[in-house]
Amino acid sequence: MENDRLLISHAPHIWGGFSTSKIMFIVVFALLFPTAAAIYYFGLYAIYIILTSIATAVLSEFVIKKLRKKRFIMDGSAVVTGLLLALTLPPRIPLWMVVIGVFFAIAVVKEAFGGLGYNIFNPALAGRAFLSVCFPNEMTSWIIPPHFNYDAITGATPLNDNFTYYADKLSLYKDLFFGNRGGSLGETSVLLILIGAAILLVLRIIDWKIPVIYIGIVALGSFLMGKDILFQIMAGGLMIGAFFMATDYVTSPVTDNGRIIFAVGLGILTILFRNFSNMPEGVCFSILIMNAFVPLMDKYVRIKPFGFVRKKKNA
Amino acid sequence: MNIVIKKKRAFKGLSLPENKITAKKPIEILPVPDKVVIPLQQNLGAPCQFIVEKGDVVKTGQKIADSQSYVTAPIHASISGKVTRVIKVVNPVTSTMMDSVIIESDGEDNWVELNKLFDIKKSDDFSGLKKIIDSIDRNEIIKKIREAGIVGLGGATFPTHVKLNPPKDKKIDTLILNGCECEPFITSDHRVMLESGREVLMGLYIISKILSPQNIYIAIENNKEDAIIHMEKLAEKMGLASIIKIISLESRYPMGAEKTLIKTITGRTIPIGGLPMDVGVIMNNVATSKSVYEAVIEGKPMIDRIVTVTGAIENPKNLLVRLGTTIDRLIDSCGKTESGANYMIIGGPMMGISIVNTDFPVTKGMNCILVRKSRIPIEQNCINCGRCVSICPMKLMPLVYVRYVKRGDFEVCREYYIENCIECGCCSYVCPANIPIVGYIKTGKNQLLKVVG
């Protein structure tokens, strides 16, 4: 050997190389599709919101890490949080509110709990919830996409009680699917959300169980309540919530059974919020509430290990 | 007659880059060294005591250490010469000190007299050989295996005579010869099958005489197609095709691990804390089988073995090495290490142990020396992604152990069946946060042993 000093390390000595930052990069890439829809439908101001959000997220994380005397790693998680939060905001929200929401998400929801991996709640959604409470008017002032057929749409987000649609059902579904409707920046185009989700599923970044079961339960619930199933699953933030928010690793369970319970809980809560609360939308709060149960599920929903034999009772 | 059966895996695990760069390299014999260092602890179970002293003159193959315990295997001089010193060597596996002797060669390699019953390299009279084997008493075979100091050569180094003599209440119906070699880089078993296939098969025949099982399998991963074909042809030629089945397995890590392999071949699940014999199976490594043949028919004790030297080195090789040869000699014979190589592993890249210096001798369980350039992993926070859970072949939740070992709650780890972990390394390999999960698990296991005693 060239040098007498050899390094010592734990087995295994090779590594797959699929790092946290790679995962975050792929998530950002997948999110670019709904982002494109946001910019296409809501114009230049959408870009301002998104850039403000991402910049604030990275900067806050950097500052907080320094205050906590921890190493700042550009692992991309702050970018994901910033982008996700931006996509859940109304299209004309003042930028200073964006800054407040993102700072809350990073400083309080994420870093105060110990940083990436230790946060209980999804930072982006908690940031959005914080803004909804602080600025209820701005957070519910929707616009319709400015350059599309005004005749067909009135009112605000489709799930509002006063939402009315004058054209036939098919073109309503078409508008919902392609994103020609009011709503948060990133939630409108089901098509582009599904393209992003497909990327995550194919690259095995996310598990199909949570989004599929979540959406399935909402569909089932809507059917049982006599609502329009397709309308219910395409309107509002269900799609982006199910594929991009509920599947957040840190705030979802690790075991298959845990994930199933988590998704069923999400579905039931969303149906309850949509039908019985005075809010038009329930995805954000459903996910935050179920987030709180994840530590419990990780503790009690276990896997039967290989070679597990139930202990015989002493008869 | 087609004796090759294809089987699909019965566990999750990983598909790893194989890097078997020495697969086509014939075994080379490393010249007899002028000095060997022979440690006392080379097997699982009780360590031996020396029966020679400083100044004694020994012959190659002479027994130099033994023990009264049942679970042990004697140790033999691997060269002829004089015992010059008794020193202490650090065992890299357990980090404890163990006594060792240094034998300095007289340059003649004088062997003890071997009682060779048959020459398999020269003669094709296999039915004659089988008759010889059939005529030896079962207990006599086991005694010969013990006296030759044979241990499991797959790495676990469990004394073979103990394994082949299971308690009476365990009915053994299946014998598996493990030639999977699922770890990347290592090719020693592969070469043994190709170059000493006759000895391997006759060793298997001897073991089957001891255990008389109904099913005999040779398990080989399908990345070693040449070995599968070779063993199939040999089995037919040697008249063993009627009793042996060769299992061609999907290449998947950790296929060669006892529990996953038995599950894949027989469908039986070894209970937590159990042994293969609990489900009626005995498994041996192909190299062990070869050694059994040499012990029983040629009277040759365990004094050498095949070691793959590979990785960031000029000329990777498969070497036949006398036990006790220091690692630097093996490295030297394979040329220069690449610049920046500062990391050396005994065993494969997934389960091997990195060593501090190259003075350490080759021991019975050492199948590979891997030279690498370092990668300094930066451990990040666990992001709860669940990859370790989804690939664990033992269906454990590895991330949980990290959490509780960090806190010092070792007892909680037991609730999650930490002792069921086979330390295959799949979890660390896939971890995006680069956490040395297996390191934490080993710490947890050790702490639990200390607590319980």
**In this predicted structure, what is the pLDDT of residue A310?**
67
Size of interface A-B (CB pairs under 8 A): 168
Pick A313 or A126 by higher pLDDT: A126
The three-class DSSP label of residue A226 is: coil
Mean pLDDT within A213-230: 92
Q: How many CA atoms lie within 13 A of B226 on its CB side?
A: 10
The residues, any chain, with a CB within 8 Å of residue B213's CB and separated by 6 or more, are B172, B173, B174, B175, B282
- Strands B368-373 and B304-311, by their bridges, are parallel
| Cα A286 from chain centroid (whole Å) | 11
pLDDT, one tens digit per residue, over B335-373 is 888 888 888 899 999 999 888 888 889 999 899 999 988
Give the chain B residue nearest A12 (alpha carbons). B350
Q: Which residues of A are less than 8 Å from B394 in CB distance?
A: 305-307
Residue count of chain B, please give it. 453
Q: What are phi and psi of B50, to 5 degrees?
A: -70, 145
* C-alpha dihedral sign at A7, A13, A16, A18: negative
Q: Which residues of A are less than 8 Å from B413 in CB distance?
A: none
Q: Residue B203 corresponds to which amino acid? A: G
Name the β-bridge partners of B218. B177, B246
Burial class (CB in 10 A: 0-12, 13-18, 19+), B123: exposed
Give the helix/strand (H/E) hosting B445: helix B437-452
Tell me the C-alpha distance between B309 and B368, whole Å. Answer: 6
CB A167 within 8 A of CB A176: no
Burial class (CB in 10 A: 0-12, 13-18, 19+), B452: exposed
What total number of domains does chain A contain?
1
pLDDT, one tens digit per residue, over B229-254 is 999 999 998 888 889 999 999 999 89
Name the β-bridge partners of B36. B103
**In this predicted structure, what is the pLDDT of residue A164?**
62
- Asked if the structure places residue A131 within a domain, the reply is yes
A11 touches chain B (CB under 8 A): yes
- Asked if the structure places residue A5 within a domain, the reply is no
Mean pLDDT within B66-95: 87
Where do you find CATH 3.40.50.11540 in chain B?
4-23+114-298
Interface test with B, best of A306, A309, A310, A311 (most B CBs within 10 A): A306
- Quick one: angle between helices B197-211 and B138-147, nearest 10? 130
**pLDDT-derived band of residue A288, with 50, 70 and 90 as boundaries?**
very high
- Asked if the structure places residue A145 within a domain, the reply is yes
Determine whether the interchain pair B259/A306 forms a contact, defined as Cβ–Cβ distance below 8 Å. Answer: yes
Q: Give whole-number Cα distances, A172 to A39, A148, A167, A178, A221, in Å.
A: 21, 13, 7, 10, 21
Report the 10 Å Cβ neighbour count for B266.
19
**In this predicted structure, what is the pLDDT of residue B26?**
93
**In this predicted structure, what is the pLDDT of residue A277?**
82
Give the chain B residue nearest A309 (alpha carbons). B271
Architecture of the domain whose range is B4-23+114-298: 3-Layer(aba) Sandwich (3.40)
Write out the residue range of the structural domain in which residue A105 sits: 20-300
**In this predicted structure, what is the pLDDT of residue A13?**
87
- Nearest partner of B386 among A26, A202, A197, A247, judged by Cα: A247
* C-alpha dihedral sign at A108, A112, A113, A117: positive
Q: What is the CATH number of the domain that holds A259?
A: 1.10.3430
- Nearest partner of B185 among B26, B331, B21, judged by Cα: B21
